[in-house]
Structure 1
């Protein structure tokens, strides 16, 4: 039986008095690629910040590798790698300098040269962050999430801004991480990405977990109601339409 490495139960949180998370629950197994889907404002990035300990739910509980993120930030930092959607670095900081700086925070970091090659930045080691393209900056943010050799990694919209070749390379990197036993939480708007990569997905809607399971099951359920459903994108959009009708 697979070990549970992330356990989120009935998480609820208000920001500036507004409910952002109302009832979010899901689990992630060791070595699993788990997708979090949902429209803008559903609570996906807020959930990621709760997993990092940056935000603390007012109700419910979150356990990551057996730890409460906000109570054991040092342990979480050594165990979990995070790539956030809005991460920024000083414009003059070079790619390899950034990797080596972050590597200094960890007891057993990955080799900076090998890591830059793995994310397709081998030729950009001396390139300042401010002179990188958006896709190159995104690749560097992924490298920084991986530098500490994490057991778990949380990726928030990781392929946004990547060209097709870069996207292909990054998705293969995720598969390689899974083969190495790393558990991956993938927050994405790309349904083809989720369908190809994820063992299971959770669909969030207005701060609530509305569906959890393998992508193939969501497609099968939707196809049972509508034979014209072809893929996860069709099934997901149909689920959102139903949720909006029932609000």
Structure 2
């Protein structure tokens, strides 16, 4: 559904050249739900804008939804849906009119636009809101309207740019269910997000971009398996003795002592923890707390780049 090779974008700003995207290769198969992660300034939004024809690449090529990005941008636009970060609807028009008008823009007949709007309103729980003005909707309701408008013409490929940004947890969870339903129906989805739990929960595969280059690619579990193991952390009033015992655990790595806290990584924290607790008990080491944490996508990024995906997620 997406095949990009050497896609790049260079900007001139204040007399300086900025290589925002430096020759990325992207492959997305039909039916996939692919997440695109990266901190602010990494090239995420620039890449998305190129793939959706909103920005002309400086170099490279791409086939998007079967059409050449450079020679047939109109063909790309006909076959994709795009839900941007900002709301796509107006403020004063009725919700149902806004959706039906979007369908007419894509060439649907009045009857087909009306039928398709009713179908999507039912699925996305907007039916009871049809006669409200778009400006009167809550944030979560507006995002559902945006998605309705993005898929009204039954696109083969849907781009979602930060779809749940700014939503409360309940609205986010509700939106995730709707995205999953679209995916089950066969829609290919390319999703950018700052929420690592969102990428982990929704995506079949993840691409991570940093400084304009793809630095990691794989399934969420596959990427996390590249980190050195589970993080074991415990607090004790005998940290030096506890650290010596922890260092003898098979496969223990990255052992650190910080005040009363001892932490290290081990391939399987859940299986190693019982033996460790017994050894600490036999040495009369009292524990105040114990935690075992599976690797996260942020750990993957930290391991590969030395910095956190979360550092400027909301900058």
1:159 to 140, 159, 164: 164
Residues in 1 aligned to 2:129 and 2:73: alpha-carbon distance in whole angstroms: 31
How far the C-alpha of 1:88 sits from its partner, in A, is 4.1
Deviations 1:93-123 (CA, angstroms, capped at 9, x unpaired):
2211111011112356661122123223222
2:132 to 98, 103, 127: 127
Task: Describe the shift of the 1:207–1:92 C-alpha distance in structure 2 as closer, same or farther (beyond 3 A).
Answer: same
Q: Secondary structure at the match of 2:54?
A: coil
How far the C-alpha of 1:11 sits from its partner, in A, is 1.2
1:192 to 169, 190, 197: 197
Q: Is the 8 A contact 2:53 2:77 kept in 1?
A: no
Task: Describe the shift of the 1:159–1:240 C-alpha distance in structure 2 as closer, same or farther (beyond 3 A).
Answer: farther
Q: Is the 8 A contact 1:43 1:207 kept in 2?
A: yes
Query: Which residue matches 2:36?
Result: 36
How far the C-alpha of 1:46 sits from its partner, in A, is 1.4
Residues in 1 aligned to 2:118 and 2:294: alpha-carbon distance in whole angstroms: 42
Q: Is the 8 A contact 1:55 1:70 kept in 2?
A: no
Residues in 2 aligned to 1:130 and 1:240: alpha-carbon distance in whole angstroms: 43
Query: Which residue matches 2:227?
Result: 222
- Unaligned runs of at least 5 residues, structure 1: none
Residues in 2 aligned to 1:234 and 1:61: alpha-carbon distance in whole angstroms: 30
How far the C-alpha of 1:68 sits from its partner, in A, is 2.0
Tell me the matched-pair count. Answer: 240
Q: Secondary structure at the match of 1:18?
A: strand
Q: Secondary structure at the match of 1:111?
A: helix
2:180 to 175, 178, 189: 175
How far the C-alpha of 1:241 sits from its partner, in A, is 4.5
Identify the range of structure 1 (223-232 vs 48-57) with the bigger mean alpha-carbon deviation.
223-232
Is residue 14 from structure 1 mapped to residue 78 from structure 2 by the alignment? no
How far the C-alpha of 1:29 sits from its partner, in A, is 0.6
Residues in 2 aligned to 1:164 and 1:117: alpha-carbon distance in whole angstroms: 22
- Unaligned runs of at least 5 residues, structure 2: 230-252, 254-264, 267-291, 309-315
Q: Is the 8 A contact 1:54 1:70 kept in 2?
A: no
Identify the range of structure 1 (8-17 vs 187-196) with the bigger mean alpha-carbon deviation.
8-17
Is residue 114 from structure 1 mapped to residue 122 from structure 2 by the alignment? no
Larger RCO (CA within 8 A; separation ≥ 6):
1
Residues in 1 aligned to 2:43 and 2:23: alpha-carbon distance in whole angstroms: 10
Residues in 2 aligned to 1:63 and 1:204: alpha-carbon distance in whole angstroms: 20
Larger radius of gyration: 2
Deviations 1:44-99 (CA, angstroms, capped at 9, x unpaired):
11111111111111111121123123432332223111101124433212211111
Alignment RMSD (CA, Å): 2.2
